[in-house]
Structure 1
């Protein structure tokens, strides 16, 4: 192949599609370790099409999210993929949250988002059961099934002449013996080999390990965090119309619990954020010694835990105690009761950390050093909201590829 993309998640498939559309005469492949695409982060997420409200004005995340939202709606319309513009409220329930909410509103306007500020009476017009002092309303925030979107990218890629090879778990990268300048991609199965002139790696939860196989630095390190959701009982779904989010607290690394309607009509509540004992550990008792020991021995995680020890203990407590989770959710909808919810699904987030314990908040591209560096590009970090931004991210990666490889 001329170009091989490692990773059949939403970013890898969007990138493959974008490159094929730009350069249709090139021979492409996507390799994916599972028996189908989009099974992990792309298929285990909240399904929210984000508007780009929170992010620092002028940042790549802000730009890509605002652009990605418009591209996503346009793509779904073209491909007849169902979505709903259910909107979103970011709600201040305490006086001390109002200055932070006001700052987020200013950011949103600078980012070009469509938002309005609501008082406590206007909140009821949007969410009749929600209680708050003040809220930002984002009518363009929507929901979609991102696994369906990812598979659509893959279908377009395959129909355009690209090859998708599933059940191909990459074990190593070496210099190709068949190409003057190229890479041999070796699968876990000794009979699986691909020779490719260029390789783009969108490895998600395994981005750091795949990068290390071709001579890249160990940092940023991927640490898996599991998020567990509760689900509203069907008889109580009328409590929620759209997304209801908290005002982020800068003292804590993660957002906090929120209400998220789904395309199937269900409503997810959560998530928490706890260290996963396995990179693809969707259940509490899923365990992998290598994954866990690697995370616990990483100085960056140790520093993050030390700085956020009490918050981490509270997160673990809420895993064991549903009442504690419900109590947080009652800040926004006081009439919610424990009897109204059941345990729901989980997702695992590939959180990139530096050695100082900081969440890596921007995109990281890496080619490493050595004989493979001129033929490889690793997407080491594609931070949330990567699914919303996937088409915009794909354009950025394709630009990078064109510059690096002089397509």
Structure 2
């Protein structure tokens, strides 16, 4: 019998388990994941950016968590000797419409109390000789890290503090009584007084196991990346981002310096047909059936069908993808786009077809579920964990 069980050993689950352990050092805590390693899914398939919080509505949890999380992540890396690089980010405008959107983003940066510098075309060229644009915003606090290394350190600290880390254990059923939560695994049955679910791509399936009423479903979006040859390792000095369309939740294809010195381009955002479809085969009959039975999926598809067609075309037609990259960096050619593993974004979609842009939580008497942890969840993992611990503390106190 455990005091607390946490499901999901991505960076949010690990941060939560570690902070629960610090809050309740006398309690017996278990962290469960079906994979053999930590940080296997969304955490291990992102671009490794420590985001500053440029895009998010002032006062939202995303804006608050991102700014706090960026500093907490850098502090944690400093303390535990994890390599990171505060290289800064440039948001580049390539036409007048993007320039107008850039000005709105500049205002948002100021509202979110972020350091930001507006650059004209000549100043942009001075900073990035290989990038073209008519203006840019420079956000110096943005950085890069390998989030799997952060996860590995958190797991080490959790186990060292007496936590039980159960990898290779898949949750197949959950039940809740007045006294406890019973977690049926594919290799064991365990129970806990309280349960926290940080299960990402499977978040909706765990709430359904407990019959918790919800109006959302996880819809996977596949982000496809390419890696550039090593000759391009110094092609940019900063992270190069487009000016995003404010009507879409995705940031668009960008050039990212990785912590290992390489450069990737991407991701796009295409409809995923498999929740864990990182390889070239991206089909799961169960996941497809879940989607087509959900009315919100069809409403979302109808609302964004034009964007979906463009993204799908560029996924299958490599020159279309290349055109998005060459908006900023004309030196890159088709043969320079080398294979790199895709990422899957667990996007919560409501029954009315609307995308959930902020964090979404649901709960029962003895359980708390992180239903939507959108980008920048990796950056924000430490304040998200603290928020979960505080929420659970209130929940426990109220019993």
TM over 0.5: yes
Distance 2:395 2:176 in 1: 18
- 1:370 corresponding residue in structure 2: none
TM-score (norm 2): 0.97
The 3-state SS of whatever aligns with 1:24 is coil
Given that 1:205 and 1:350 are in contact with CA atoms closer than 8 Å, whether structure 2 keeps it comes out as: yes
* Worse-matched range after superposition: 66-75 or 108-117: 108-117
Q: Does 1:145 align with 2:146?
A: yes
The alpha carbon displacement at 1:188 in A equals 2.3
Q: Secondary structure of the equivalent of 1:43?
A: helix
Question: How well do the aligned residues superpose, as a CA RMSD in angstroms?
Answer: 1.4
Change (3 A) 1:181 1:249: same
Kindly state the Cα deviation for residue 135 of structure 1 after the two structures are TM-superposed. Answer: 0.6
Deviation at 1:254? 2.2
Q: 1:297 to 1:253 in 2, by over 3 A?
A: farther
Looking at structure 1, the residues matched to 75 and 145 of structure 2 have their Cα atoms a distance apart, in angstroms, of 13
How many aligned positions are there?
Answer: 397
- Hey, what's the Cα distance between the residues in 2 that align with 1:75 and 1:49? 12
Distance in 2 (CA, whole Å) between partners of 1:96 and 1:378 is 40
| 1:244 paired to 2:224 | no
Deviations 1:327-368 (A, max 9, x none): 11111112322233222221111011111211101112212x
2:176–2:210: 8 Å Cα contact kept in structure 1?
no
1:377 aligns to what? 368
Q: Judge conservation of contact 1:66–1:112 (CA < 8 Å) in 2.
A: no
Between the aligned partners of 2:232 and 2:181, the Cα distance in structure 1 is 55
**Equivalents in 2 of 1:252, 1:103: separation in Å?**
15
Equivalence for 1:8: 9
Give 2:194's match in structure 1, choosing from 166, 187, 198. 198
CA-to-partner distance for each residue in 1:93-129, whole Å, 9 max, x for gaps?
1011112111111111111111111111111222111
User: 1:35 Cα deviation (Å)?
Assistant: 1.3
How far apart, in 2, do the equivalents of 1:223 and 1:278 lie? 9
Where does the alignment leave 5 or more consecutive residues of structure 1 unmatched?
368-372
Return 4-13 or 274-283, whichever deviates more: 274-283
Partner secondary structure for residue 374 of structure 1: coil
User: Which runs of 4 or more aligned residues in structure 1 lie more than 3 Å from their structure 2 counterparts after TM superposition?
Assistant: none
1:218, distance to aligned residue in structure 2 (A): 4.1
Q: Which secondary structure state, in structure 1, belongs to the residue aligned with residue 42 of structure 2? A: coil
2:116 alignment partner in structure 1: 115
Match of 2:396 in 1: 405
**1:292 match:** 288
Task: Select which of 214, 221, 232 maps to 2:217.
Answer: 221
Is contact 2:326-2:332 (8 Å) kept? yes
The within-5 A match list for 1:348-363 is 348-363=344-359
Does 2:332 match 1:329?
A: no
Question: Do the aligned residues in 2 keep the contact of 1:234 with 1:266 (CA within 8 Å)?
Answer: yes
Q: SS of 2:346's equivalent? A: strand
- Structure 2 unaligned runs (5+)? none
